[in-house]
Amino acid sequence: MKVNLPQLLLYGFFWGFGLNHTIHAQTLKEIEALAQKEMPQKVLTLVNKHINDSGLTAENISLRSMILMNINTVKCWESMQEGISKFPNEAVVYYTRSQFFYKVRDINNAMIDLDKALELAKEDTLRYRIYLSRGNMNQFGGYELQSIEDCKKALAIRPDSKDALNNLAGALFNNGETAEAKETLLKLKSMDPNYVGVYVNLGYQLQKMEQFEEAAKYLEEGLKIAPEDPFLWNHIGYVQFKLGKVEDGIKSIQKSIKINPGNPYCYRNLALIFLSKKDKIKACEQINKSLAFKFTELYGEEVLELKKQHCL
């Protein structure tokens, strides 16, 4: 499975937790190069060598755990538990475990670890990451007001944070504050017209508001910048379907699946298209795939209800 390792390593750890100060400059340079090539096993080898040479710290055991998260789940868990056992008063080890819990969709334990990390965190860089992550998880759980509060706290630390602005806009949309949400996204777009998240968010929120023509405009603009982004392809596929371009919609969603086969929303969208074509066999196949990829745990009962209505 292809993972977004460069973003995970470089943004989340090197710059977020100050590992650029704790890892030797040449080693850091080598790790960055391998991360950009998405070679996690080789990154892991370098990090393990660094740990053997310099000793175990909360930061580098957390880095090792994050790399293992995309290689070996059991070893990742063992590494995280070792970190918490050896560094029980270090915020970074709880933050790391929260990301593991989020990855396996155990949101309750993820939030517990984030709260513990926030209690222990002293540096603003880490507190920013915690607020950003907690805001995302609160939005995921439907707690929009808490998500808005966390995003604003992240922005108080880093007013120029594109991720925090994008997450804030999503929470505002979901809370019914559509005018402020759209204004936030357009502000973000003016700050950085190449920031892909703004197009994903605008496209998704506008399609939920059934403003399909405008959604298509932003999604197409986003695809010019990021032609391999799976979320843009999924959203534009659904929008094409709603605009009557059914076959184009199927092809776009299938392209999204080819890039990222683990997104249950793609199969949900295909199921709706096949139901509109009165092809229950294909629709139910997509419904079952969506459920297999944990749609219900992620987004609610919609697909389960579709199965009850059409596939039992």
* Sequential DSSP letters for 83-113: HHHH-TT-HHHHHHHHHHHHHTT-HHHHHHH
Percentage of the chain beyond pLDDT 70 is: 82
Binning pLDDT at 50, 70 and 90, where does residue 4 land? very low
The angle subtended at Cα 206 by Cα 270 and Cα 260, nearest 5°, is 40
As a dihedral over the C-alpha atoms of residue 155, residue 142, residue 201, residue 189, rounded to 10 degrees, the angle is -20
More reliable by pLDDT, 36 or 158: 158
Highest mean pLDDT pick, 34-48, 53-67, 216-230:
216-230
More reliable by pLDDT, 187 or 32: 187
User: What is the mean predicted confidence (pLDDT) over 8-26?
Assistant: 44
User: What is the mean predicted confidence (pLDDT) over 165-177?
Assistant: 93
Contact 100, 51 (CB under 8 A): no
Kindly tell me if the per-residue pLDDT of 143 is higher than 70: yes
pLDDT reported for residue 43: 65
Binning pLDDT at 50, 70 and 90, where does residue 169 land? very high
Residue closest to 188 by CA, chosen among 212, 209, 161, 170 = 161
115-137: string of b/e by CB count within 10 Å (b at 16+)?
Answer: ebbbebbeeeebbbbbbbbbbbb
Token pair 């023509």 in the structure block, residue: 213
pLDDT reported for residue 63: 81
Mean of the per-residue pLDDT values for the chain? Answer: 86
pLDDT in tens, 192-206: 999 999 999 999 999
Contact 150, 135 (CB under 8 A): yes
Structure tokens at 305: 């209800």
**Residue 221 CB: number of other CB atoms within 10 A?**
16
Token pair 């607020």 in the structure block, residue: 131
Dist. CA 181–CA 3, nearest whole Å: 29
pLDDT in tens, 226-250: 999 999 999 999 999 999 999 999 9
User: What is the mean predicted confidence (pLDDT) over 56-70?
Assistant: 81
Kindly tell me if the per-residue pLDDT of 212 is higher than 50: yes
pLDDT in tens, 254-310: 999 999 999 999 999 999 999 999 999 999 999 999 999 988 877 889 999 999 999
pLDDT reported for residue 297: 78
Q: For the chain, how far is it from start to end, CA to CA, in angstroms?
A: 32
pLDDT reported for residue 14: 40
Which 3 state secondary structure label does DSSP give 158? coil
Contact 273, 249 (CB under 8 A): yes
Residue closest to 44 by CA, chosen among 73, 68, 77 = 68
pLDDT reported for residue 44: 67
Binning pLDDT at 50, 70 and 90, where does residue 20 land? very low
Task: Quote the crossing angle between the two packed helices 162-174 and 124-140, to the nearest 10°.
Answer: 30
Binning pLDDT at 50, 70 and 90, where does residue 17 land? very low
pLDDT reported for residue 47: 66
pLDDT reported for residue 296: 86
